[in-house]
Structure 1
Amino acid sequence: MNQKVLIVDDEESIVTLLKFNIERAGFKTDVAYNGLEALHKATEESFDLIILDLMLPELEGTEVCKRLRQKKIETPILMLTAKDDEFDKVLGLEIGADDYLTKPFSPKEVVARIKAILRRTNNRPNTEDKPFIQIADLFIYPEQYEATIKEEVLSFTRKEFELLMYLGKHKGKVLSRDQLLSAVWNYDFVGDTRIVDVHVSHLREKIEPDTKHPVYIKTIRGLGYKMEDPS
């Protein structure tokens, strides 16, 4: 296995613990002890996954994550935090993190999360060999991780796009928030339905002509959401 993980944390004991267990699981590792160093390494080098602490000197983890996504660097990110706070969790995932783990954690759980994220990343849902999904003027291109509306290229975070793609693949079907959490974020986040609502709100801002009267992503009261063809 040649997959490489960047470990970012300012606590040497945590870095040492993570490095030992991740390398024992067969991965290569590199480390950074502050946000600026992490941003530089993640921008200049290629990694298969980044473990990113939320609270870092020089540049916070959320800002590192945000800047990487702005640079179109889509390396999967597992965020770590000492806070067990829903807002932090939603914020981290909203800005482009792929998973979230609260300290204290077991090294086995970290390795399990890494493997799960890489499985999801390497096995993105196919679209039955179709090159795109069309819903009226909205075109979703799974292979390119891109979408256009009226030929205008749209900008999404990884999770926004995966949510849009999942809704598009299941056009006309009512999908509960728990279904969407399970499909897009994985079972670890079942119950944190606000994450879905936040991402749906962001999608609507980008694809709906009028966010107050959405025509693509409909809210089905008491059930969830449904993607419809407005044409």
Structure 2
Amino acid sequence: MSVRKRLARLGRRFWRDARAVSAMEFALGMPLVLAFGGYGIEICNLAVTNMRVSQYALQLADNASRIGVNTGLATYQLREGDINDALQGLRLFSSNVKLTTYGRITVSSLENVEQSYDDDNVQRIHWQRCVGLKSGAGFDADSAQAPGTSAGSDGTSSTAGKSAPDGIGDAGQKVQAPDNSGVIYVEVNYQYQPLFGTVFVAPTKLHYVASVIVRDKRDFSQIYNPTPTASPSTCNKYTA
């Protein structure tokens, strides 16, 4: 038998041989299944993380709007320890995404009240407190809105904070405080941690804000720090 006929016969046998069809289909299809499956998982994880980060911002704003100790004079004093407790709560319930490791959280008190050194109500960012390791543009709050690390530490005009007649927040989305009251404004910036690196999504920063009106009749004159004193979580500190 000639070589040509042998090759033709071998080709016909190979064409009719169906024993490895499933293995071939699996080998050819698996890369596509893995690619589409991985992409779907990554997008779902990104969506869930977006929802979680937005809820963390809202939860912290709500908690910070309620904290304080009753003075017996129908007002509630806000203490450094109370703020630290609220931030610690954030650490605990956001540990699944390591929010304070890969993010930066800023809590601001926007107040529209008349202090002892004012002649009328003044809207100002009275104080800010922060937590999180990330720093720099896109993570730290707008420096133009920063009241300073000593702001709110006592009831004097030197620590009054920063005037904010237009309110606080992103351009076109600024929040105003009601007369004779205040708003707790929380900004969260978080570097999303993808499951598959940058294979399916580019590096993504999540940005969410939340604001809640202070619930009780708060003493807005200052943040108190009675003995034993607590270390203020001022925005010049970067801790997880």
| TM-score bracket for this pair, using the shorter chain length | under 0.3
What is the TM-score when the length of structure 1 is the normalising length? 0.22
What is the TM-score when the length of structure 2 is the normalising length? 0.22
